[in-house]
Amino acid sequence: MTFLNPLYLVGVFAGAIPLIIHLFHKRRVKVVEFSSLEFLKRIEGRKTKWFRIREMLLLILRSLALLLLALAISRPVIRSSAFGSLGTHARSSSVFVLDNSYSMGAETAGVSNFEEAKTRAGRILNLMDKGDEVFLILASDLSRPVFEGPVHDHSLIRSAIADAALTGRLTDYRPALEMASTMIESSRNLNKEIYLFTDMQRTGFESFARGGLRDTEGKRIYIFDTSSADAVKNTALEDLALSDPLLFEGSKLTLVATLRNHTQRETSTSLRSSLDGREMGIKEVDVPAGATRSVEIAFSVEGEGVHHIAVETGDDDLVVDNARYLAFKVPGRARVALVVDDSQLSKGYVSTALSPEEGLSLFSPDVFVRGDFPSISLEDYQVLALLDVSSLNSADVLRLANFVQNGGGLLVSLGQSVDIDFYNSVLLPRLGRIRLEERAPDRSGKEFFLRISAGDFSHPVLSQFRDKEKGDLGIARIFDRVDLEASAGVLLRLSDTSPFLVETRVGEGKVMIASVPLDGSYSDLPLRAIYVPLVHRIFRYLSMGEEVMYNLHVGDMISLPTSGLEQVVCTPPGGRGTRMEPRVRSGRGYAEYDATEEPGTYVMSTDDKVLAYFSVNPHIKESDLAKAAEEEIGVHLAELRPRFLRPGESPDAEIFSVRLGVELTNPFILLVLLLLLFEMIIAGRWKGALEPEI
């Protein structure tokens, strides 16, 4: 026998209270003067004998009643269930773990796995006895308890299960099971049980590869497979992306939609797309069994501003991944300040490339000589370019650094005019871990040249040149360059492996450094067809300022830089807007919204203007509905001795056959009541028996 409330065992000493009272309060005989004792002496012996028997019985009954009451409060339990007829099953502490990740929305015959999980959870709740404590966890990659502590009113758990809703989140059972184990760790109940209602998705158990759960002694898990044995038909829309991440006003754009067929036969589906709520068209698509297919959708956007795209496929058994969203911003004309030395003023290759004709360009360049730098109003420009500038004074360097720190773009083009000591000691330390080497011998002769031979063509500036038919950077001849030493951020290298173009980040801004002048003095770049698109892409990228993540996953935080705005409204898809005040971080205001539990398009706005769209999509990993085998799960959760209950199986016998113990609290209380009843009968039966007979 064991006791679930052992501290109350001190109450067994209460059984000695009647004896103590008896010893200290013995009946005192009162002497009564009487004329004759002859008749009293006859009954003295008989009355005294019965009095002692009565007192002894009452003493024993009262002591036993107090002793058994203390034992009952201590909750005695026999660990073996063989004595079930003596009392009730020992109480249990149970955690219901209900998977509400979006894979549970898969339907079979019109019933989702999630609805089946709710039904089976309700049946298990019916098996709970009065006094059993129950916890409820909604499980995904972000698991949360519905109630802060154990619940004894099971109707509250039933209502919470009925009200539970699916999310767009991933499956990860580890945080939920760790939370469940912690919840029942300190429970004094003999039976500690975890009930997991799941579709047994394999990806949900991947986190157990790094090890099992801790502190699992005395706990057991029951796993209810709520998925159907029938194959689920699911063709997921996995990705939406623009073919070119750098957007130019008025240019033709291409949207690439990627679909994956998770079934074992070819499927056909329709692809419906819309831009800013206006339908762009419908395409019929065939996707081979178990394969992916990319579909291109051409469209155009007139004018600058923020936009959003939605693409939907036809219905299948998992609805959540049938839609995907994309948000983007087309920037307007960028103002650029070009700073040159006096000797370079006559060379206008860069300014001409940026604006070949007034009013018809995507850029608005202004040219300044080095001496005019203090008069430049930097806040009026998105990009600043130092084109073979020899040096700047310390005040100008400080202004330049602050400009970049606050989100401005900077291009540094090195040439024969640069003061290497100034760059290494004053300017470059503020821009990153980059140094210039001592000038190499002049190799500007036409008989010696290098080529651009390697690059990071996943970078937005260079992605167009991945396909050499759209522009081959290797055709340009580089006759000389300034030797750069960069530990990271090299985007392009020359054929001698030296850096040609390097990127660094400073605060919220971007910096690019070219080891070759862009004016043609060290190369024939201005004579090549790639020159204008390369210059455009460099300056467009630098003009984008602080990067805003417009495309997020469920659960990610929306964060939008705000300048001088006191309030911003975030409106979720199909919901009511939430008004918020921007938070200040690092001296800048940001409107932040973290309740992104629903996939769709979120709108950030003021009362009279849309500031930005943000797309929130489910994780594509969750679309793979492949199930983990029971043996595989058994290895991951071996410490919890898992038992699997399939659809159609009755859980009653399975659960009660392994539950430990019989609790004897109720039988002990019944014995206390019986003893008190006997005490009353005995005390009442001999009442007045010692009264003198006259």
What CATH number does the domain containing 587 carry? Answer: 2.60.40
Beta partners for 590? Answer: 561, 583
Q: What percent of the chain has pLDDT over 70?
A: 83
The verdict on 343 and 460 lying in the same domain is yes
The two beta strands, 643-645 and 219-225, are parallel
The pLDDT value recorded for residue 87 is 45
Count CA atoms within 13 Å of residue 66 on its CB side: 15
Alpha helices in 132-257 (DSSP H): 154-163, 173-185
Q: 382 or 355, which is more confident?
A: 382
Taking the C-alpha atoms of residue 170 and residue 186, their distance in angstroms, rounded to an integer, is: 30
pLDDT band at 55 (very low <50, low <70, confident <90, very high): confident
pTM over 0.75: yes
Burial of 304 (0-12, 13-18, 19+ CB in 10 A): middle
Are 338 and 365 in contact, with CB atoms under 8 Å apart?
A: yes
The answer to whether position 98 is within a domain reads: yes
Q: How far apart are the C-alpha atoms of 93 and 181, rounded to whole Å?
A: 11
Query: Do 321 and 338 have their domain in common?
Result: no
Is the pLDDT at 304 greater than 80? The verdict is: yes
Question: How many domains, the chain?
Answer: 5
Q: Once rounded to an integer, what is the mean pLDDT over residues 16-38?
A: 61
Do 567 and 517 share a structural domain? no
Where do the H-state alpha helices sit in 113-202? 113-126, 154-163, 173-185
382 and 317 together in one domain: no
Lowest mean pLDDT among 355-369, 518-532, 650-664, 665-679: 650-664
Domain stops at, among 331, 349, 383? 331
Domain's final residue, options 295, 312, 331:
331
Q: Mean pLDDT over residues 345-367, rounded?
A: 80
Compute the distance between CA of residue 422 and CA of residue 465 in angstroms, rounded to an integer: 34
The tokens of 66 are what?
A: 């107090």
* Lowest model confidence (mean pLDDT) among 116-120, 133-137, 465-469: 465-469
Q: Is residue 691 part of a domain?
A: no
Are residues 511 and 364 part of one domain?
A: yes
CATH number for position 270? 2.60.40.10
Structural tokens at position 517: 């002048």
Q: Which residue has the tokens 């000691």?
A: 425
Q: Are residues 603 and 633 in the same domain?
A: no
In a domain, 694, yes or no: no
| pLDDT mean across residues, the chain | 85
Question: How many helices (DSSP H) and strands (DSSP E) are in the chain?
Answer: 12, 37
pLDDT of residue 3: 58
pLDDT of amino acid 266: 92
Please report the pLDDT score of residue 345 as a whole number. 62
DSSP 662-687: EE-HHHHHHHHHHHHHHHHHHHHHTT
CA–CA distance, 450 with 457 (Å, rounded to integer): 19
Residue 269 clears pLDDT 90, i.e. is over it: yes
Task: Give which of 391, 369, 395, 365 is closest to 380, Cα–Cα.
Answer: 365
Quick one: which H or E segment has residue 482? Answer: none
What's the distance, CA 533 to chain centroid? Answer: 40
Q: Is the pLDDT of residue 277 over 80?
A: yes
Beta bridge partners of 604: 570, 612
- 370, 390 Cβ separation under 8 angstroms: yes
Quote the distance between the C-alpha of residue 141 and its chain's center: 6
- The pLDDT of residue 690 is 45
Q: Looking at the structure, do residues 410 and 526 belong to the same domain, yes or no?
A: yes
Q: How confident is the model at residue 398 (pLDDT cuts 50, 70, 90)?
A: very high
Domain assignment present for residue 169? The answer is yes
pLDDT band with cut points at 50, 70 and 90 for residue 447: low
CATH number of 157's domain: 3.40.50.410
pLDDT top residue among 688 and 366: 366
pLDDT for the residue 694: 41
pLDDT of residue 560 exceeding 80, the answer is: yes
Confidence category of residue 446, pLDDT binned at 50, 70, 90? low
Question: Could you tell me if residue 153 is inside a domain?
Answer: yes
Give residue 43's pLDDT band: very low, low, confident or very high (50, 70, 90).
low
Distance CA 637, CA 641 (A): 7
- pLDDT confidence band for 342 (50 / 70 / 90): confident
> Do both 509 and 418 map to the same domain?
yes
Band of the pLDDT at 507, cuts 50, 70, 90? confident
Whether residues 223 and 159 fall in one domain: yes
Do 253 and 402 fall into the same domain? no
Choose among 169, 175, 122, 128: nearest CA to 152. 128
Q: What are phi and psi of 90, to 5 degrees?
A: -60, 145
Domain assignment present for 347: yes
Higher pLDDT, 170 or 359: 170
Of residues 47 and 558, the one with the higher pLDDT is 558
**3-state class (DSSP) for residue 509:** strand
Summarised one tens digit per residue, pLDDT across range 457-493 is 999 999 989 888 888 999 999 998 899 888 789 999 9
Helix 17-24 to helix 38-73 angle, to the nearest 10 degrees? 150
Question: Is the domain of 185 the same as that of 260?
Answer: no
Domain that holds residue 674: 2-84+665-685
**Residue 8: pLDDT over 70:** no
Considering the domain boundaries, does residue 99 fall inside one?
yes
CB 80 within 8 A of CB 190: no
How many whole angstroms from its chain centre is CA 52? 76
User: 365 and 406 share a domain?
Assistant: yes
Q: Is the residue at 692 inside a domain?
A: no
Check whether 556 has a pLDDT greater than 80: yes
More confident residue, 235 or 345: 235
Q: Are 530 and 471 in contact (CB under 8 A)?
A: yes
Q: The domain spanning residue 459 has which CATH number?
A: 3.40.50.880
